Structure 1
Amino acid sequence: MQILLILAVVGAAGFVLFSLARGLFYFSQGHRAAMDGTVEENQLMQNKMMMSRIKWQAITIILLVLIGVTAGGGS
């Protein structure tokens, strides 16, 4: 059971990293979006990636708590 939880934590942490990288990419494209006139679309994608990152961080924390509960309950 714990191996599955650990694999789920690794996967969720990967999604956190992916969302962070995409959010930073859109953040770095802010100047180009201002020049192209697509500022609203760029800001929307930044917010979408931030919400995705927060969601995956919450899932990762919940999985870590489950690992702690199962590890402590086995004594």
Structure 2
Amino acid sequence: MPHYLLHLHDTQFDTYNEEGFEAPDLAAARLIAKSSIWDVFAEEALRSKLDFRGYIDIADANGRIFDSIPFKDAFTILGL
């Protein structure tokens, strides 16, 4: 099974994951990345602040980036 790393980039800091996770394919890795974004926003919601300017890179141990997911693409936003 492929091994992926998630690297979070937002306006305040960059966090590079060194442990990573295994997923059957890139589609599954994308779902895990979106779940990580949801976790970030759960913390931000507690502070009444949602900053959509960041993104998560899905990479391998060699630094090859397979995909980048902007925070805004992890949500369906209604009523704005």
TM-score (normalizing by structure 1): 0.39
More contact order relative to length (CA 8 Å, sep ≥ 6): 1
TM-score (normalizing by structure 2): 0.37
Structure with greater helix percent: 1
Structure exhibiting the larger radius of gyration computed from Cα positions: 1
